[in-house]
Amino acid sequence: MPDGNANADSERMQVLLRRFEIPLLQFATRITGDRERARDVVQETFVKFQNNGAFQSPEPATWLFTVCRNGALNVCRKERRMRYLDEELIESREDKQPMPFEQLEQQEAAGFLLRIVATLPPRQQEVIQLKFQNDLSYQQIAEITKTTANNVGVLIHTALKTLRQRYAQPAKDFIPFTPKTT
Amino acid sequence: MNPDDPKLTAYALDELDEAERAAIAHEVAASPEVQREVQETQTVARLLRADFAAELKHPADATKAPLSANLGDIRDDPWFWTRARPLAIAAVLAVFAVIGLAIFGSNKLREKESAQTDQRTTVPLRSSAVEAEVEDTQNPIASYAIVRRFINDGLLPPRDSVRIEEMINYFTYDYPRPKPDEPFSINVEVAGCPWANSHRLVRIGLRGREIADSVMKTGKLVAEQIDERPPTIAKDVKIQVGFNSTRVASYRLLGYDERMLRNDFNNNEIDAGEIGAGHTVTALYEVAPAGANANPAARVPPVDPLKYSSPTEKARSNSNEMLTLKLRYKEPDGDKSELVERPVMDDSRQFANASPDFKFAAAVAEFGMLLRDSQFKGSGTLGAVLEWAQEGKGIDSNGYRAGFLELVRKAEALERGKKS
């Protein structure tokens, strides 16, 4: 029953798209720094995925993130793009009406961990995203990022430690108590 | 077990196989310190998951800084792992430090220098945490916002994120405007310490001269209006609190780093850089009066016997003065140091008769101590904090104090859930 198979495949593809499209997009955006290019990369990833028949595999996450990552890194290498400035985003922010203080503050606090994440070394950012946005295991992350599960453990441990140190840091407006050094 | 072991993080994230898991569970059970470590890792993990999930819902706010700069080329090079990684971390930190310095600007540098050369204790006079939050996204967020975030997410905040001095100064207090010829008003109130029966609580509040009313909104600025800091109205401000050892057995400044204070409890000088127009700053001292039955549980450090050391001070040491507040400052473009001296009497006021602002600040301080499980928390409970804050709510035109009450109620529910 070729028709029945095709229907089942297409249905499964829809399910996988729904589940992974935005996480992959987010992942590729962090690597390329550019949403449009990330979109291309993710689309390409899904095309490969379907052509390969890999979407029959019971654990598609590792495959998808690996191919997506390679695609994103290739784009960066080809274009030698080191940094993107998303002017559209900046402009749209400037257009915004002043936000009430409390709302602004809530929003700041809501994303504060991700802003600290953005200051971590790239390798740590990558594994943190795979672990906490996509809920992958150390082993899966190791396969995707071509390293060992032990290394992934060290990276995540180091990153979490840095995060904790950062929110334990006094806000800089508060000059900390400086004890006498006698 | 070393709390800084990646295995412990793996354990907290449930990444270990059966055998390793069992071995570590045994060690975790044996050490409260290791237990706390595991809990904090799980707390951060939970919050990270929440933040990342929110990011998927609003992907337009994705990060703008690409990882690609060094991810692509060095990822498979083993050298990276042995040598480059620490260097990379150091480089990131160094860049961060430079950015931080640039944003701090010369004012902050001056403050730092004066702090180093004077070797006095420092307390902030720039109390607006708002500026810190909006002017630099890499900047740590003020403690109150972090604490609120954790509690609203159903988690009790990690100890180190609770900074009492920042929480107290998150709120504005109704200090009178300065007199025309003075850059700031000095406001001292003494009343009973609600968490330690025999102790007194001293609140010292400063308010800078209002010369920029048009850009201030009840002390909190709307983000887009902060192009510059409010004008500096005094510089090289130093606050010294001299305690009269005839009246005071011991004292401590609330907040800052309690561990540091234990090593330096005799240092009673506070020093800060500039004070800006409209800024308020509030500090609380807990004082054990001389002769009273010192509460050993509160462990307030002993007073430095050398205070009230000048001849005039010695002459006054048998008076009713509890402390003398000395303020030194210079006009923004002056070189001459001005001195303001204010003796403070203890009028034996009970906490019940204290001003609403006093009660509210005390409630915030005790809330912080309870969240930190501080050794100085005394007899207070979250229920008592609610009572004090309710009594001290005052007019609360902007609703911040109502928000605090709600937060304490949530924390109370979390505590109950933890115990049951």
Q: What is the mean pLDDT of residues B116-125?
A: 30
Please check the confidence at residue B63 and state whether its pLDDT lies above 50.
Answer: no
* Of the partner residues B13, B122, B129, the one whose CB lies closest to the CB of residue A177: B122
Classify the complex by whether its ipTM is higher than 0.95, answering yes or no. Answer: no
Per-residue pLDDT, averaged over B393-410, amounts to 93
Q: Are strands B121-122 and B269-271 parallel, antiparallel or unpaired?
A: parallel
As given in the structure block, the two tokens for residue A121 are 């070394």
Average pLDDT (B340-345) is 88
Number of neighbours of residue B268 by Cβ within 10 angstroms: 20
Q: What is the predicted pLDDT for the residue at B230?
A: 56
CB pairs under 8 A between A and B: 260
B113-116 long-range contacts, Cβ below 8 Å, gap at least 24? B114/B236, B114/B271, B114/B273, B115/A175, B115/A178, B115/B271, B116/A178
C-beta atoms of B64 and A73 within 8 A: no
Residue B106 has what pLDDT? 28
Give yes or no for a contact between B364 and B388, defined as CB atoms under 8 angstroms apart: no
Model confidence pLDDT, tens digit, residues B252-285: 888 876 544 333 334 444 444 455 566 778 889 8
Contacts of A167 in chain B (CB under 8 A): 140-141, 146, 158, 160-161
The more confidently predicted of residues A5 and B135 is A5
Cα nearest neighbour of B64 on chain A: A33
Distances (CA, A) of B270 to B163, B325, B359: 18, 10, 23
Contacts 24+ apart (CB under 8 A), B390-396: B391/B356, B391/B359, B392/B355, B392/B356, B392/B357, B392/B358, B392/B359, B392/B360, B392/B361, B392/B362, B392/B363, B393/B356, B393/B360, B394/B174, B394/B356, B394/B357, B394/B360
**Averaged pLDDT for residues B93-116:** 30
Read off φ and ψ for residue B340, nearest 5 degrees: -120, 130
The residues near B205 (Cβ < 8 Å, ≥ 6 apart) are B173, B175, B186, B187, B188, B189, B280, B281, B282, B283, B357
| Structure confidence at residue B412 (pLDDT) | 96
Residues 44-63 of A with CB under 8 A from B: none
Strand partners, B288: B250
Whole-angstrom Cα distance, residue B68 to residue A37? Answer: 13
For chain B, what percent of residues have pLDDT higher than 70? 61
Reference A94, options B61, B401, B224; nearest CA is: B224
For residue B129, pLDDT over 70 is answered with no
The pair phi, psi for residue A127, each rounded to 5°, is -70, -35
Instruction: Name the residue among A84, A105, A109 with its Cβ closest to that of B66.
Output: A84
In order along its 182 residues, chain A shows pLDDT tens digits of: 455 677 777 888 888 888 899 999 999 988 888 888 999 999 999 988 888 767 677 788 999 999 999 999 888 877 754 333 333 333 333 334 444 455 556 665 667 788 888 888 888 999 999 999 999 999 999 999 999 999 999 999 999 999 888 877 766 444 333 322 22
Strands B184-192 and B200-208: antiparallel
The larger pLDDT score, comparing residue B81 to residue B334, is at: B334
Tokens of B406: 């709600």
Chain B residues in contact with A146 by the CB 8 A cut-off are 75-76
Q: Is A4 in CB contact (< 8 Å) with chain B?
A: no
Q: How many helices (H) and strands (E) does chain A have?
A: 9, 0
According to the model, what pLDDT value does residue B160 have? 84
Which residues contact residue B93 at a Cβ distance below 8 angstroms, ignoring those fewer than 6 apart? Answer: none
Q: In this predicted structure, what is the pLDDT of residue B333?
A: 77
pTM for this one? 0.69
Q: Which of the pair, B96 or A134, is modelled with greater confidence?
A: A134
Q: What is the pLDDT of residues B165-218, one digit of tens each?
A: 889 988 889 889 888 877 788 899 999 999 998 999 999 988 878 674 433 333
Residue ranges of B 321-380 with Cβ closer than 8 A to chain A? none
